[in-house]
Every structure is written in C-alpha cells, then in structure tokens.
Amino acid sequence: MGASSDHAYTHLRGLMRVGISSPVGSGSRMGKWREQAQTWLRAPGVPPWNVFLTPTFPEDPVVEWRGPDSEAGRGPLSALPEAARRAAIRVWTPAVETLLTVAQWPGRGRGRLTQALPYLLEEQLLADPESLVFSHRETDAGIFVAVTAKERLAAWREAVDEARLSATFCPVTLALPWRPRSWSCHYSDGQWAVRTGPYSGFGAASPLTRVPAALRQALEETGKTEAAPEAIVLFGGDEALRALIATDLGIPVIADPRPIAAGETPPFRLGETGGAVGASGVAALRALRPALIALFLVFVLGFARTVFDWVEFSHEETRVHAQMVSLFSANFPNVPVLDPARQMRQGVARLAARAGGATQGFLAVLTSASPALAGLAHGDLTRLQYRHGEVRCAVRLANFDALTALKQNLVRAGLVVRVTHVISHQGGVQALVTITRRAP
C-alpha cells in the first residue's frame, strides 16, 4: 500500500468515526453497525493486535500489547504503534471482572432471551441486574453467558475512545488456548485465569506462592464427573509454578510456551467502541454512500423486527391478562375483577396469613440467622432476598476462612446452609449463601 493510499485510508477511517461514532451500549444494533463499517475500512489482510488490561485499569493507564509479528510493548493506550491503529484490536479484560456461566433457555426468540437472562441467572448474581451487562452465545450445550459490570465496561470503553481506537472486548479467560479433557491456566501479576471449556472459566486473585482456593474448589466440585480435567495446561509460568500447581492439586500440569491470545477469536463481544471525531468532506461522504445505504437498510430491517416483536408481545400480554382474569374468577368467584394480578397477590397473601404466613417463615429463618450475620468480621451483607422458604444472602468477606466460619455459625443455629456461588478477587471473597430452616 503506497503513501497516497495510506493517506486516503486514514482519512476515510476518520470520516467513519464522524458519521457513526455515538455512545451505544453493549450489544446494541448501532454498535454492531459501527463495528462492521469500521471493519470494511480497515487495511485488508492486517492481523489483529492484542491489548491486555490490568485490574486497576483505567485508574492505572498502563496496559500491555502484542502485535501479530511478536511486537510487544507496555504503556498507555495512546502509545500504541500506528500499525495497531490500522488493524483490528482485541482488548482482553481482567478475568475477575467477568462471570462466565451457562443458562438454559426453553423459549424462542433472541429478543426474549436478552430480556430473560437476568432472571435466569438471578441466583448467581451478586449485584443488581440493572448494573450488569449480559453477553451470550447460543450453542447446543446451552446459552453461555458473560456478565460484566456496566460501570467497568463503560470505563474501559471511555479510555479506548479517548485513545482514538476501535476495539472489541473479551475476558482474558477466553484468550487461553483450550483443548478437551483439560483446563488451561495462566498467571500474571497476582491474577489467575482458568479456562474450563470453550466458553467457560473463571478468574481469581492470589499470590504466586499459593494456588487460588477457587481453582481447588472447582476441581473438587467436578470430582469424578465427565467435566473433570485430566490435566492442567499452564501458560506464562515457570517450572516452579508448574511444580507448585501439580503438588497442591495432585493433577498433571503441562507447561505450554505459546503466548495467550495467539490465535483465539473472542466468542463474546462485551462492547464496541469508536474513535474520536476527525475532519470530514462532502466528496469522501459520497464515496461512503454504498456503506451508508447498507446501514440504512439494516436499520429498516431492525425497525421492522422491533415492530413485529412489539405486536407479538402485545398479543401475549392480552392472552396472559385473559388467563389471569379466568384464574382469579375461578378461585374468587364472589369478588369483582378490577386488577387481577394485584387482587390475586392480595388473596394469596390473606390465605397464607391464615395458614401461618410466609412472613412468619421469613422471620423465623432471619431470627435464627441474625446473630451469625451480625457477627460478620471484616465483611458486609450486600443483598437479602426471601423466596419459597429460602433466605438468599449476598455477602462480601475478607477471605475463604471467614466464609467457612459464617457457614459453621449458621449450621450451629440449626439452619441448612448452601453456598451457591463464590468469586475471589483482590478485595476478598463474594458469595451467595442460601439459608433454609432444618426440617423437623
């Protein structure tokens, strides 16, 4: 590519940033159109560059990058070479910032699935679903989901925008090469990333001298099931680390010298970003007319699909409302139907109060659990929910020992305790604890 064509390419890319740059959310249609348009304008045949974020980014702006020809560097995003700006950029985010899990979806329709994901994963979430971004990929084995805090994703995207870069985001967990019947592991600067499948894995913060408890717990949970790995493949570690993992976990550890993200294609796009505003010209915009027409057609098709979904949901709402009216009339024949949903809740509440009441069950469990929850050492109770005789508590503790002590105190109080989800990070341990009364 000569100097003149290089200049034209750079100019057109700047114009595309002018025409399409906008603050869009993760997975939005506009974001996908923008990414596709920028893909058309990238220099042909240029392999992608990989950028690795640290858990303290963007407060600490230093990142690491690696080019397709083994070019490597470290510094702020603004220091990326010019060759990287002409290529696709894959930003690999810290493993501990994203929950990778699987959901089962019996329904149909991608729009409905997107709306249903927060409810399907409710028991695994430690934060309000409104504060999270859900990215997913549908496979025969289920719906694989990546959950990331909106605030963190917005901060990453803002930093990339300020550096005038266009990138896709994916957790570094999925940058590790993976093969069946094994788990892939990578350690760097106190951060562990473990990939357990094509779209699954987790991260943990732990010093180099100790295998993270999350990895040990995951191996114990798989046990002798089909998901149990036969070996762990270690990337980015020396012989001492390989020996440490093999000794602590009692499983073969294979050292792999290949760099991570060498040939991995991100299965999840946590977000799309566009660069800053550049100069524009009428002649260049005319050259972009075919691409803009294509974008307009995609917009029209998307709008038509939205209208179709709205009509479908309207019919579904009418059907459900009629069903509620019929059900309420059958159970409360002497009561006039005004608001069937509210009236049904009130009627069920009155029946429950006569039978002892769900509220009494909640108070009984909470009364028994209060001493243990009030005595949390260096910890916080971040969420409390009662449903179907169970109290679900989201707690933030200093370490795994504190979580074990909490569980023992609740058991001594005569309660049945189940820890359904644990995340380890630099600030301690977050867990979802389900508490029920012991059967008499």
276 vs 214: which has the higher pLDDT: 214
State whether residue 43 is helix, strand or coil.
Answer: coil
91 and 155 in a single domain? The answer is: yes
What is each CA distance from 399 to 123, 194, 204, 402, 427, in whole angstroms? 21, 20, 12, 6, 9
92 and 171 Cβ atoms separated by less than 8 Å: yes
396 and 367 in a single domain? The answer is: yes
As a whole-number percent, the residues of the chain with pLDDT over 70 amount to 78
Q: Please tell me the distance from the alpha carbon of residue 396 to that of residue 429, in angstroms, as a whole number.
A: 6
87 and 44 Cβ atoms separated by less than 8 Å: no
Per-residue pLDDT tens over the stretch 4-47: 334 333 333 443 333 333 333 444 444 444 544 454 445 445 67
Q: Which of 352, 372, 398 is at the close of a domain?
A: 352
Give me the sign of the Cα torsion angle 352, 353, 356, 358: positive
pLDDT average, residue stretch 419-425 = 83
372 and 327 in a single domain? The answer is: no
267 and 131 in a single domain? The answer is: yes
Element of type H or E holding 310: helix 289-331
55 and 143 in a single domain? The answer is: yes
Q: Which residues contact 358 (CB under 8 A, 6 or more apart)?
A: 352, 386, 389
At 208, is the pLDDT very low, low, confident or very high (cuts 50, 70, 90)? confident
Report the number of distinct structural domains present in the chain: 3
State whether residue 168 is helix, strand or coil.
Answer: strand
- Residue 98, pLDDT > 70, answer yes
Per-residue pLDDT tens over the stretch 315-331: 888 887 887 777 777 76
90 and 110 in a single domain? The answer is: yes
* CATH assignment at residue 86: 3.30.420.380
Report residue 161: phi and psi, to 5°: -60, -45
Closest CA to 175 of 259, 74, 76: 259
157 and 265 in a single domain? The answer is: yes
Residue with tokens 């590519």: 1
330 and 391 in a single domain? The answer is: no
Closest CA to 20 of 1, 11, 33, 9: 33
What is each CA distance from 351 to 331, 339, 388, in whole angstroms? 12, 18, 15
State whether residue 14 is helix, strand or coil.
Answer: helix
Report residue 408: phi and psi, to 5°: -65, -40
End-to-end Cα distance, the chain: 79
Give the structural domain span for 364: 356-437
What is each CA distance from 224 to 181, 202, 245, 253, in whole angstroms? 12, 20, 19, 18
- Per the document, the length of the chain is 440
